[in-house]
Amino acid sequence: MKHTSYVGLDLDAQGGMTHIGKIIRDGWLFGFIPETETGTGWTHTQIQMLYEKVFAAWEPYAHIPSRLPPELKEKYLRIQEDALKRARENGWDPELSDDD
């Protein structure tokens, strides 16, 4: 079996607008990892462990950003705006293609 690791948020496909990219950014949001951590070299197990923490952290807010308390909502919006800007600068197109 081939062992693969995550390339990191900066080199992620679609400018980081992937499921793993969202997990990393939500890890930043809830303070599980520092905003400097991109997940470069992480294994599937490490990503899964972060996902489980992030999922549990979202549960009190029904996984809806508008239900976050003001300080988390502000942080969430900042993180997302920065991510969208970087993704677009790296060629990400939010339009779905026929393959999506």
Closest CA to 23 of 13, 14, 32: 32
Give the domain extent around 27.
9-89
pLDDT in tens, 64-73: 999 999 999 9
Q: Is residue 54 part of a domain?
A: yes
Stated pTM of the model? 0.89
Q: Is residue 50 part of a domain?
A: yes
pLDDT in tens, 3-32: 689 999 989 988 889 999 999 999 999 999
Question: For 33, what's the count of Cα atoms within 13 Å in the CB-facing half-sphere?
Answer: 21
The number of distinct structural domains making up the chain is 1
Exposed (0-12), middle (13-18) or buried (19+): which is 84, by Cβ within 10 Å?
middle
